[in-house]
Amino acid sequence: MVGTATLATPIGQTSLGNYIFAGLQTQNWVFVLFGCVAAALLALAVDQIAGADRERARGAAARPRGAGNPGPVARLPRRAGPTWSRPQARYVIGAKTFGEQYILAALIEQRLRDAGLSAARREGLGSGVILEALAGNGIDVYVDYTGTIWANQLQRDDAAPRAEVLGAVAKWLQERRGIKTLGDLGFENAYALAMPRRRAEALGIRSIADLARTAPQLAIAGDYEFFSRPEWAAIRSAYGLAFRAQRQMQPEFMYPAAAAGDVDVVAAYTSEGRVAQYDLVVLDDPRHAIPPYDAILLIAPRNANDRVLADALRPLVGAIDVALMREANLRATGGGKDSSPEAVARWMLEEIRSRQGK
């Protein structure tokens, strides 16, 4: 019961899962360890209490009880870290933990297979974890976002022009990690604060600066990473935001929660199709607290000079605008066989070929 209670986090309820999920996503093993150990100790304590109650109910003398099986707790530090065993494929494609990443990983896989190359996907990796996997050649390619690396790796809290951010990120990746930036895909998936349109209009909110005035009466939801990221710290610092409640949610639940009025504000993604689906309005960022987030194709150090891989992926560079990505993301939420990452990726590939006249 205690173990499953950590799963309240994906639907926006506060639990020890907040530490576990956020820690896994941002590779903060202190958070992971704290959440896991606290949950384990709580479970052991509940077990002790329940056992004592059973003994009293039976009228029997309390039997000596150990602290429980220490195996899972003892193994927590070792299991908290990622492992990079490679699937049996020539190329391994990484993906983070949300729908857009699954679609893009499937798209890359299909491009590689169309070029006669074997490929496999490794999905569900947090931002810090996936970059380490690429730098350590545990995966060969994935799509990241310039703002994520700008804030998390370069430790920059300013929002420079897009070209400057892209150039600085590519240089840092090459010089510090040996990672090659093949190019940007053509769209930006930035964090943004969004509200249901009718709620924003009723409160007279058009920008994050407007939001700051009423935030103490409102609730905000974000994904597992957002409230642990430098961008959130930058937004709070720039606008002095302080909300009545702050909830972590799986993105699939976050947008319907806003539409239903369960939360007032969400940390949305600008390429997310559900922003339009649920009639959310993206709030302006007049103080430019949020950096640009161009989607970029990254290649592992061992593949930096792999012309076969580069040639197979180059048709994707500059080929995906934000309208195409939004439509793809929206299709993926529809349910049924046509909404799987593989089906949506096939549709995208046909759209790209059609636009390129191929």
**Co-location of 172 and 311 in the same domain:** yes
Total domains, the chain: 3
| Phi (first) and psi of residue 251, to 5 degrees | -55, -35
Q: How big is the chain, counted in residues?
A: 358
Residue 111 corresponds to which tokens in the numbers above?
Answer: 């491009």
Please report how the helices 341-355 and 322-331 are oriented relative to each other, as an axis angle in degrees rounded to 10: 150
Name the domain boundary from 27, 59, 80.
Answer: 80
Say if CB 319 and CB 184 are below 8 A apart: no
**Co-location of 305 and 180 in the same domain:** yes
- Domain annotation covers residue 337: yes
Say which CATH number the domain at 320 has. Answer: 3.40.190.10
**% of the chain beyond a pLDDT of 70:** 77
- Domain annotation covers residue 85: no
Considering just the CA atoms, what is the radius of gyration of the chain in Å? 23
Is the model's pLDDT at 9 over the cut of 90?
Answer: no
For residue 22, which of 10, 39, 4 has the smallest C-alpha distance? 10
Domain encompassing residue 239: 191-282
pLDDT of residue 59: 58
Q: What is the mean pLDDT of residues 318-333?
A: 95
Handedness of CA 38, 40, 44, 50 (dihedral sign): positive
- Domain annotation covers residue 203: yes
Q: What is the mean pLDDT of residues 122-130?
A: 92
pLDDT of residue 32: 58
Is the model's pLDDT at 65 over the cut of 50?
Answer: no
163-222 pLDDT, tens digit per residue, is 999 999 999 999 999 999 999 999 999 999 999 999 999 999 999 999 999 999 999 999
287-312 pLDDT, tens digit per residue, is 999 999 999 999 999 999 999 999 99
**Where does the pLDDT of residue 10 fall: very low under 50, low under 70, confident under 90, or very high at 90 and above?**
very low
**Co-location of 56 and 119 in the same domain:** no
pTM higher than 0.75 for the full model? Answer: no
Residue 182 parent element (H or E): strand 180-188
